[in-house]
Amino acid sequence: MAATAKRPEIIEIARGIPGVPMCEEYERMISGMMYNPNTPKLLEARHRCRGVTSDYNSLDTKTIPYDQIADKRLELLRKVVGKVGDGTFIEPPFLPDYGCNIVIGKDCFVNWNLTVLDTSLVVIGDRVQIATGVSIFSAGHDTSVLSRRKFVEFGHPIFIEDDCWIGGNVVILPGVRIGKGSTIGAGSVVTKDIPPYSVAVGNPCRVKKTIQSVEEEEQDPNNPYRDLVREDR
C-alpha cells in the first residue's frame, strides 16, 4: 500500500546520490506515497537512463582487451546508477528504470538480465552476488482501477545487505530488506524482510534455516573455506 507521509530518512539518503531528479513528486515517489510519474523531471530522468543504459549494454567488447573490460564496464556503469563501488561488475543486458536511484557497493557481481524498477531507492551492499534473470521491483500500484486510470503509483525502497547471494529468477518486491549474508533460492518471490544469515526459498519466500556469520566461519577450524586464498575475478 502507498504511504501517507514522506520518509525523511529515505529522502536524506537520496540527497547524497548525485543526479537524482529532486522535486516534490520525486520525494513523494521514493517515500512510497502516490505520485505522478509523468512529471517532466521524472520523464527526463527515465529518458536519460534509457540512453546511458543503451551505451552500457551495447559496448562492443570485440575492440577491448579482455583484461580491460571490467574497468570499461565500471566507467559506463557509473553513468547509469547513482553510486557504485570499485570492483563491481554487471553483465549486460542490465535494465534499470531511473538508474540514479540505485546504489551498489564494492566487489559485487551481477549476471545477465537484471531488471531493476528503481521507483524508490534500491541499495545493494558490498560483495553481493546476483544470478541471471533477477527482478527487483520497488514500484507498486494500488488495486484500485481508478488509481491506475489516474496514472498514480508508488514505490517502497529495497535494501540488500552485504554478502548476500540472490539465486536465478528471483523476484524481490517493494519494501523488502534482505539481511546480511543471506541466500535467496532460485525462483523465489521475496515479499517480506529476510533476517541476516538466512537461507530462504519459495513463493512466498520463507526462511528454511540460519547459517553461521562470517565471523563465526572464520573462527571455526573445521570450516573448509577458512584458509582458502581469495581468487580475484
Domains of the chain (ranges plus CATH)?
8-219 (2.160.10.10)
Type and span of the H or E element at 114:
strand 114-117
The residue ranges of the chain whose pLDDT is under 50 are: none
**Residue 232, pLDDT score:** 64
Intra-chain end-to-end CA distance of the chain, in Å: 41
> In the prediction, which pLDDT does 163 show?
98
How open is the CA angle 197-200-203, to the nearest 5 degrees?
155
Pair 69, 61: CB distance under 8 Å:
yes
Say whether 95 sits in a helix, a strand or coil: strand
Catalytic residue list contains 156: no
Phi, psi (5° rounding) for residue 171? -115, 125
> Position of cell 540512453?
51
**pLDDT computed for residue 229 by the predictor:** 76
Q: How does strand 206-210 pair with strand 198-201?
A: antiparallel
Which is catalytic among the residues 48, 79, 106, 141?
A: 141
**For residue 231, what pLDDT is reported?**
66
CA neighbor of 53 nearest in space, from 14, 21, 12, 94: 94
